[in-house]
Structure 1
Amino acid sequence: MKIGTDAVLLGAWTSIKNNPFSILDIGAGTGILSLMLAQRSSAETIDAIEIDADAYEQCVNNFEESPWGDRLFCYHASLEEFIEEMEEQYDLIICNPPFYSEDYKTEKSSRDLARFQDAMPFEHLIESVSKLLSEEGVFSVIIPFKEEGTFIALASKYNLFPNRILHVKGNPSSEIKRSLMEFSFLESDTEISELIIETERHQYTEDYINLTKDFYLKM
């Protein structure tokens, strides 16, 4: 599976200012978010969950090949199974959830599983996070901008409130495409900012370069 811009943005933007001791990556895929947070933080425990067998194997291999293998562990499980078995809570939970509509299903089920929201409905994700997040923990997620209001409303049902939001546009004239959001159990004024990725094709903005340059070999 290719690494998308969404994952790189989320892994780079997510705050680690509360110095998380434990991190959970829900729906890890190749493990990119866990690896980025291992590079950025001193967290002792970085757990990942991945339900797809091929992605799980790739994730485990990537963890083992990385310099941070002793801090990284991937569980081959569904979110429901994980919640049933785990009693500990996490200081930071991060997720790049599947969010493509039913209309776009392909013939390849493993790709669909990675891409479609019916594999992980938002409310199931939020309810699970509310159980796994520590009292002062942070939940970081990226979703389509058009889903932002719905997601915030669902989160409020579980006493999770947006503290930071980043709106992402592909270029200066395009519409807002993505919302990166950080939630916690602490209700506060929401800090909202905007990021433009390119001024023109492959001409990246200074803001995007500064945010992501630590994770690209050529940037």
Structure 2
Amino acid sequence: MANNYFQFKQFRIIQEGAAMKVGTDGVLLGAWTPLKGAVRVLDVGTGTGLLALILAQREGGLKITALELDPSAVVQARTNVAASPWSDRIAVVEADFRSFARETTERFDLLICNPPYFQSGPTAACAARALARHAHELSPLDLLDGAARVLAPGGALALVLPALQWPDFERAALQRGWVLKQQLVVHPTPHKKATRILGCWGREAGAFLSEDLVLESGGRHVYSPEYLALTREFYLFA
């Protein structure tokens, strides 16, 4: 049985009632996302509050709005935020992103999202897990169009996707005028194909940076120096 919490160096994620537990994708996205110039951040689909807490630890000046649709996840995220050192800088809001994007007058410097995956195939037996893992409630187009409405000029959209879904998302983003600024291509081992891609998108043309990251370089749970360097401020083992 999985632990009902995940301990990081500076905070703890209680996840007993969470549909989606702490995973590599979320930690990588939170640790990697560029924060230069960001003050107002919108975390879409915060779940346990993981991304919001990682970003708050990384940068002391951030003001973070963490959106979550599932009421039980909202309770979990608020509990985790309240127990953290950064509760005064994170507001957990129960809301559907599509409605929020249409109604809010606030503009954000960064929108970060570990979005629903698995847009086809059988849904999860647990309704909350299905909501967290399927794109029935938040499609890639919803995310792109909503981000375009809520981001301030010069703002960025950061997300992580399975490598197999990346080409379709990239095509849709480019068609809607988004520009890929930075990406991290994640390989499980040195000789395996990429399984995840992290991307940071903007609306203005500029320089592009692409890097590769290997998770395990010396066998099971023998992590690469690059992965340890990226996550050392968070994981206990890094």
TM-score range, shorter chain: over 0.9
Instruction: Decide whether aligned partners of structure 1 residues 44 and 197 sit closer, same or farther in structure 2, where only a CA change above 3 A counts.
Output: closer
Does residue 204 of the first structure (1) align with residue 201 of the second (2)?
no
**CA offsets per residue over residues 1-53 of structure 1, 9 Å max, x none?**
320100000000001122x1100000100010000000011334200110011
The corresponding residue for 1:215 is 234
Instruction: Decide whether aligned partners of structure 1 residues 167 and 120 sit closer, same or farther in structure 2, where only a CA change above 3 A counts.
Output: same
Residue aligned with 1:216, SS: coil
Is the 8 Å Cα contact of residues 152 and 161 (structure 1) preserved in structure 2?
no
Cα RMSD, aligned residues only: 1.2
TM-score by length of 2: 0.88
Per the TM alignment, residue 85 of structure 1 is displaced from its structure 2 partner at its CA by 2.9
Is the 8 Å Cα contact of residues 102 and 149 (structure 2) preserved in structure 1?
no
The corresponding residue for 2:126 is 108
**CA offsets per residue over residues 114-162 of structure 1, 9 Å max, x none?**
1112221101110000111111111110011122222122112332210
Alignment of 1:51-200 (within 5 A): 51-199=69-217, 200=219
Structure 2 spans left out of the alignment, 5+ residues:
1-17
The corresponding residue for 1:21 is 39
**CA offsets per residue over residues 43-76 of structure 1, 9 Å max, x none?**
3420011001111110111111111100100110
- Cα distance in 2 for partners of 1:129, 1:101 equals 20
One-letter code of the match for 2:30? G
Is the 8 Å Cα contact of residues 100 and 115 (structure 1) preserved in structure 2?
yes
- Cα distance in 1 for partners of 2:82, 2:179 equals 35
The corresponding residue for 1:10 is 29
Flag the structure with higher helix content: 1
One-letter code of the match for 1:12? A
One-letter code of the match for 1:55? A
Residue aligned with 2:232, SS: helix
- Cα distance in 2 for partners of 1:7, 1:120 equals 17
Q: Which moved more, 1:151-160 or 1:166-175?
A: 151-160
The corresponding residue for 1:48 is 66
